Amino acid sequence: MHVFYKTKLGSDVKAKLQLNQIEATDDLEIFPVQPFYSIKNDGKLTVFRFDANHGGGVTFDITGSEGVTTVFRMMHRGKLILTQTSNEPHLSHISNNMMLLRMPFRVMSIYLRDDSDLIFLLLHSQKEVIVVNTKSLVVERLVCNYEPEPPNLPAWDFAQADIVSVREGVLTYTLGPQKDIFYILKTGPRQLWRAKLPAHLM
C-alpha cells in the first residue's frame, strides 16, 4: 500500500489518499473542481473517483495529448475533457471519449453536472459567462446582468468566486470573502448574485 498526500485542496485542509497497487513513481493529479483524481502511466490516464471504495477507474489513451492539458482536466458524462488556455473558447472532439476545451486563463469558477449537456465558466470579470454545450459543441460567451450589480473594484480581484447553481435559467454565484493584496486579511462575508440566462438556456 502506498500513501499519497495532497495539500491545499479546497480549504487548505490536508487530505490523505491511500491507494492499492499504485507505484510511487506514478503521476497523480487531483481534479480541482470535481471529486476525481488521475494516475498517468505510459501515455495512459486512469481516472478514479474519491469515495469509500477505491475500485477500478476509467482509462484513457492520452498519447500525444499531454501538451493540451495546461490548465486542468474534467470528467463529464463519462468523457475526459482536456483543457488549454485560449482567448477564444472552443470545444472539439479528440476521440470518442475525449474532448478538448479551449478557454480563457482567468476562469474563476466552473459548473457542470452529468444531467446537463452544458458547462458554465464564470470569467474573472464576474460579468461574463461562457456556456459550453458538450452535445452540439456550441460555445457562447454571454454578458450577464446580475441582481444586485457586482462591485467593480480592483480589490475584489482577490476574492474567491463559486457558481453554486444554474436552475430554471438563473445562474447563482457567491463571491468572497474579500482579501487584501497580500492575501492575508479578509473583510466581510461572502456575497450572493443572480443572473438570468437567455431563454434558450433555460
User: Does 12 score more than 70 pLDDT?
Assistant: no
User: Does some domain include residue 23?
Assistant: no
User: Does some domain include residue 123?
Assistant: yes
Higher local confidence (pLDDT), 53 or 12 = 53
Smallest CA-to-CA distance from 155 within 189, 195, 186 is with: 186
Give pLDDT tens digits for 37-83.
Answer: 888 877 888 888 876 455 678 899 887 765 555 457 899 999 999 88
User: Does some domain include residue 66?
Assistant: no
User: Does some domain include residue 2?
Assistant: no
User: Does some domain include residue 126?
Assistant: yes
Q: 50: Cβ–Cβ under 8 A, 6 or more apart, which residues?
A: 17, 35, 36, 37
User: Does 85 score more than 60 pLDDT?
Assistant: yes
Domain extent at residue 121: 107-202
Question: Quick one: how far is CA 71 from the chain centroid?
Answer: 9
User: Does some domain include residue 88?
Assistant: no
Per-residue pLDDT, averaged over 109-138, amounts to: 88
With contact defined as beta carbons under 8 Å apart, do 29 and 15 qualify?
Answer: no
pLDDT value at residue 186: 53
User: Does some domain include residue 19?
Assistant: no
Higher local confidence (pLDDT), 50 or 102 = 102
Question: What is the separation, in whole angstroms, between the first and last Cα of the chain?
Answer: 48
User: Does some domain include residue 163?
Assistant: yes
Kindly state the helix (H) or strand (E) to which residue 202 belongs, with its residue range.
Answer: none
| Helix, strand or coil, per DSSP, at residue 136 | coil
Give pLDDT tens digits for 132-160.
Answer: 999 999 999 888 777 766 655 444 455 67
For the chain, what is the domain count?
Answer: 1
